[in-house]
Chain A
Amino acid sequence: MAVELTMARMKIALLRHALHGRRAQTAGTGATLGLLCAAATLYLAFTDLDLLAAAYAVWLLGWVLGPIFMGGGDETLRPEYFALLGLPPRRLAGGLLVAAFVGLAPLASLVALGGLVVAGARQGAAAALVAVPAMVLQLAVFVLLSKVAVALVGLAVRTRPGAVASGLLNGALLAGLAQIWVFLVAFEQTGVPAVVYYLPSGWGLLAVQGRWWALAALAALVVLLLAVWAALLGERSGTTRRSGRARRPMTAATANGAIVAKELRTWSRDLVRNHQLTFALAYAACFTTSPLLLGWNGMLPYTGPIFIVMAAAMSANVYGFDGTALWLTLMMPGTSDVRGRQLAWLAAHAPVAIVLAVACTAVTGGPWPLVLALTAALLGGAAGLVPWVSVHLLVPGTDPHRRAGNPLRTSEDDGGLTGLAYLMLVLVILTGAPAALTALLWGWAGVAAGVVSGAACWWWFGLLAERRLRSRGPELLDVMRTGRKPETTVTSRFDRLSRRRKTVAWYCFGFGAIPLVPQGIVAAVFVANDMLRHTWFLATYMPEGLRYPVAGGFMLLGLAMYGAGLWAVRPAATRQDAPDAASDAAARESAPDAPSEAAARQGAPDGS
């Protein structure tokens, strides 16, 4: 056990060092949500074992899909760290497995699996006793299935076909999850299908219910998965493949042309970006075509817009993906990196989006104004927001040439990346709102509104991003280099707020989307389409006259939460947003006796 215990201790030490500042907060929020889910699962153990089996199936799905979606899962301890120790692969896998049990996600899962003990205790002492090994084995199955899935995807994505295929598969799976109701309705399965018991996630529950073979099956599966994982670990420590193709020469003749050419080459050559693009494409296509199973094509026209939103969310950390290459941008202060990236983003995404929008709307025969308005507004909004969000809320990543093993893993901070993607979803959708409203009210005028708002977002957010890159470039580079937010950026501005304001902002920004989007907008759409008593959308359960008011109330609540969040951070944000050296120098000159605190904090050169 020496190896296993040492690795577990290493993991604890690494986690302790990594959990600082924002990451600790993200982890805290994640742990809270995880424990809430676990508590809900435990509750099911007291009430409905069918639902408990279904809940475990969802946990399993989360373990398998979550890490793949977020780019590789928990790699706090990497197999490469132990490459020189000469451990046999199975020993290594065993050690890494034990270390993988250390963490917040396994902890939450273990609490959820406590449901097995509860279910056992309801049957008798023997069943409760069986539940204990079942719980551990079940958790091992969760962790190992997750590791094997990530390792398989990690192998696949080393080649372009593999990256594209895994992007398509992930996109399709997540769209399927989002549209799960379609499948439930389509198969007329109103109850919980019995299959959830026979998935590996249900075996623990089967064992507790007296079918002892399930316990043996769990143990056998653990051994098998461990062997597979050990074999896969051996595969991954290979070197990167060299490409032998001659490359088309760069024909650009201007600085801006060169940035576009560089970015377009990156979009076509970087497997991470290939994966993101195909993911967005597969997600949009599957999301809108799955209701066709029910003979309903009402979602089809929105394939293009949904693709744009998803693609923007995937590229929300575009500067983070390139890592410390930012130093070259800093060394050339006269150039406009942001505009070039915006053009390249559009060049890579707009053709696909426009073809999707036009083709799918042609199939359904409309609504043309709304779809075209949304396409124009969202394209501009996304092209503006992608660099803006990326420079303001950069999630530090691993430099491309240092990404070992899994090339899709761009950052250690999964929570940060996921949060950024969700934020981007919401922000991009908001940029489409004015055009969509105009189109709904006045038809074709919406298209003009979309073009205008799209162009405005592209120009304005691009300008803001460029300014930010100019004024805070060295700090961004420092964040990328060290992986930690320095004390002189947005975070500290946030940190200087009072505790009460911080809490307000945290909860308002963190949870404002829940009333606004699902309980407000989505619920209203469901009500409009007469889709009543729908999962957790409260408005769909209301009596006739109250449905729209409830959905509207939630939307107002969401907006109010965002408003309150903005109010909480606003004064500090406006007071210190001109950090370039020239204005600091001017500030010092105008008040020579009182050295500007802001200037000192921002480390501007001291001219005196």
Chain B
Amino acid sequence: MTPALEIDELTKRFGDTLAVDGIHLTVPPGSFFGLVGQNGAGKTTTLSMAVGLLRPDAGTARIFGQDVWSAPERAKTLVGVLPDGLAMPERLTGREVLTYLGLLRGLDKDVVAQRTDDLLGVLELDGADKTLVIEYSTGMRKKIGLATALLHAPRLLALDEPFEAVDPVSAATIKTILRGFVAGGGSIVLSSHVMALVEQLCDRVAVIDKGRVAAAGTLQEVRGARSLEDAFVELVGDPDDGIKELSWLSS
């Protein structure tokens, strides 16, 4: 079966820093894949290269067999992307953003209107019809970003920190949507540094450390008998001096 996402030897160097060092990952179709790692481990860079937003120095990325760099038109219709912290068309309302992007995706006008209504309703953004995206809170920005990723009903979702700054109620909604998406045959790769969340959602995990894959496989394979957090700290933490405390803080 063609993998939903296949990353092969992706490498990216920024100046003297090797941000991503020959990463190889395979996301099987129908899997919920978690990418975990410390800040600066290379998660965002890897995801950006995998979906065609950042040109790798070497290596390939294929979405359902379509090369992201040589066949971008086919690859990019198959994927929905939620990047972390990038701008949107800021002077549009949420509804206008979805209408605009739906039309750009070549969807029929009525289909766009229908899906926009559904997405705004489910993500509880429909009260914000008068609000421009630039006036959104961080959590609302995440939600409208997720809506743009889902709009064209892609087969793969690539989500960078989708739950950051999202309130617990919305987070529960989003989890339900994502689980439903996977149950319906879709595949998801998401990055996060919240271990509990990844443990709760994902069936496959890859631990990224210093631009390399430190461990990858099913959730059970990676965490073994421990919690994912313990396994993670063991994998990427400094083995010599463990976790330090601030002595002056506990007086």
How many A-B pairs with Cβ below 8 Å? Answer: 142
Binary CB contact string for chain A from 464 to 507 against chain B (1 if under 8 A, 0 otherwise): 00000000001101100110000010000000000000000000
Q: Which of A240, A401, A475, A604 contacts B69 (CB 8 A)?
A: A604
Interface of B is mostly: mixed
Q: Which of B58, B79, B131 contacts A606 (CB 8 A)?
A: B58
Binary CB contact string for chain B from 107 to 131 against chain A (1 if under 8 A, 0 otherwise): 0010000000000000000000111
- Check if B1 is an interface residue, CB within 8 A of chain A: no
By the criterion of a CB under 8 Å from any partner CB, how many residues of chain A are at the interface? 54
- Check if B134 is an interface residue, CB within 8 A of chain A: yes
Contacting pair A324 B135 (CB below 8 A): no
Q: Which of B59, B104, B134 contacts A605 (CB 8 A)?
A: B59
Binary CB contact string for chain B from 77 to 95 against chain A (1 if under 8 A, 0 otherwise): 0010101011111111101
The answer for the CA separation of A159 and B219 in the assembled complex, in Å, is: 52
Contacts of B109 in A (CB 8 A): 253
Contacting pair A605 B83 (CB below 8 A): no
Chain B residue at minimal CB-CB distance from A470: B72
Contacts of A606 in B (CB 8 A): 9, 58-60
Q: Which of A247, A252, A478 contacts B129 (CB 8 A)?
A: A247
Q: A474-B54, A603-B56, A605-B60 are in contact. Are A581 and B87 (CB under 8 A)?
A: no
Q: A322-B89, A327-B86, A474-B52 are in contact. Are A246 and B59 (CB under 8 A)?
A: no
- Check if B148 is an interface residue, CB within 8 A of chain A: yes
The answer for the CA separation of A488 and B56 in the assembled complex, in Å, is: 12
Binary CB contact string for chain A from 207 to 242 against chain B (1 if under 8 A, 0 otherwise): 000000000000000000000000000000000101
Q: A331-B81, A606-B59 are in contact. Are A262 and B51 (CB under 8 A)?
A: no
Binary CB contact string for chain B from 5 to 36 against chain A (1 if under 8 A, 0 otherwise): 00001000010000000000000000000000
Which residues of chain A from 24 to 38 have any CB-CB distance to chain B below 8 Å in the complex? none
Contacting pair A261 B86 (CB below 8 A): no
Contacting pair B88 A325 (CB below 8 A): yes
Contacting pair A605 B129 (CB below 8 A): no
The answer for the CA separation of A478 and B14 in the assembled complex, in Å, is: 11
Q: Smallest Cβ distance from B225 to chain A, in angstroms?
A: 40
- Check if A259 is an interface residue, CB within 8 A of chain B: yes
Contacting pair A333 B76 (CB below 8 A): yes
Q: Smallest Cβ distance from B31 to chain A, in angstroms?
A: 22
Chain A residue at minimal CB-CB distance from B9: A606
Chain A residue at minimal CB-CB distance from B68: A605
Which residues of chain A from 591 to 608 have any CB-CB distance to chain B below 8 Å in the complex? 600, 602-607
The answer for the CA separation of A399 and B86 in the assembled complex, in Å, is: 8
Q: Which of A255, A330, A400, A477 contacts B103 (CB 8 A)?
A: A255
Contacting pair A250 B100 (CB below 8 A): yes
Binds B, one of A59-67, A86-94, A264-272, A565-573: A264-272
Contacts of B59 in A (CB 8 A): 605-606
- Check if A585 is an interface residue, CB within 8 A of chain B: yes
- Check if A328 is an interface residue, CB within 8 A of chain B: yes
- Check if B55 is an interface residue, CB within 8 A of chain A: yes
- Check if B96 is an interface residue, CB within 8 A of chain A: yes
Contacts of B81 in A (CB 8 A): 327, 331
Contacts of B129 in A (CB 8 A): 246-247
The answer for the CA separation of A600 and B106 in the assembled complex, in Å, is: 34
Q: A240-B135, A328-B101 are in contact. Are A250 and B96 (CB under 8 A)?
A: yes
Contacting pair A325 B86 (CB below 8 A): yes
Contacting pair A247 B148 (CB below 8 A): no
Contacting pair B96 A262 (CB below 8 A): yes
Q: A243-B135, A605-B67 are in contact. Are A332 and B104 (CB under 8 A)?
A: yes
- Check if A245 is an interface residue, CB within 8 A of chain B: yes
Contacting pair A258 B103 (CB below 8 A): yes
Q: A253-B109, A475-B55 are in contact. Are A401 and B87 (CB under 8 A)?
A: yes
Q: Smallest Cβ distance from A294 to chain B, in angstroms?
A: 43
Contacting pair B70 A262 (CB below 8 A): no
Contacting pair B69 A605 (CB below 8 A): yes
The answer for the CA separation of A265 and B89 in the assembled complex, in Å, is: 10
Contacts of A481 in B (CB 8 A): 86
Q: A604-B69, A605-B60 are in contact. Are A258 and B89 (CB under 8 A)?
A: no
Contacting pair B99 A244 (CB below 8 A): no
Contacts of B57 in A (CB 8 A): 603
- Check if B230 is an interface residue, CB within 8 A of chain A: no
- Check if B53 is an interface residue, CB within 8 A of chain A: yes
Contacting pair A325 B76 (CB below 8 A): no
Contacting pair A330 B52 (CB below 8 A): yes
Q: Smallest Cβ distance from A160 to chain B, in angstroms?
A: 12
- Check if B132 is an interface residue, CB within 8 A of chain A: yes
Q: Smallest Cβ distance from B145 to chain A, in angstroms?
A: 10
- Check if B73 is an interface residue, CB within 8 A of chain A: yes
- Check if A254 is an interface residue, CB within 8 A of chain B: yes
Q: Which of B73, B79, B132, B148 contacts A243 (CB 8 A)?
A: B132
Chain B residue at minimal CB-CB distance from A245: B130
Contacting pair B104 A335 (CB below 8 A): yes
Contacts A262-B100, A335-B104, A400-B134 known; 19 new A-B pairs at CB < 8 A: A243-B135, A245-B130, A246-B129, A252-B99, A253-B103, A255-B104, A258-B103, A270-B90, A270-B91, A324-B86, A328-B104, A330-B53, A331-B79, A334-B73, A400-B91, A488-B55, A581-B69, A602-B55, A605-B59
Q: Which residues of B come within 8 Å of A, CB atoms?
A: 9, 14, 51-61, 67, 69-70, 72-73, 76, 79, 81, 83, 85-93, 95-96, 99-101, 103-106, 109, 129-135, 141, 148
The 6 lowest CB-CB distance pairs between A and B, nearest first, are A258-B103, A325-B87, A324-B86, A269-B91, A400-B90, A399-B87
Can you spell out 8 A-B residue pairs with CB atoms less than 8 angstroms apart?
A244-B130, A253-B109, A328-B104, A332-B104, A332-B105, A335-B104, A399-B86, A401-B133
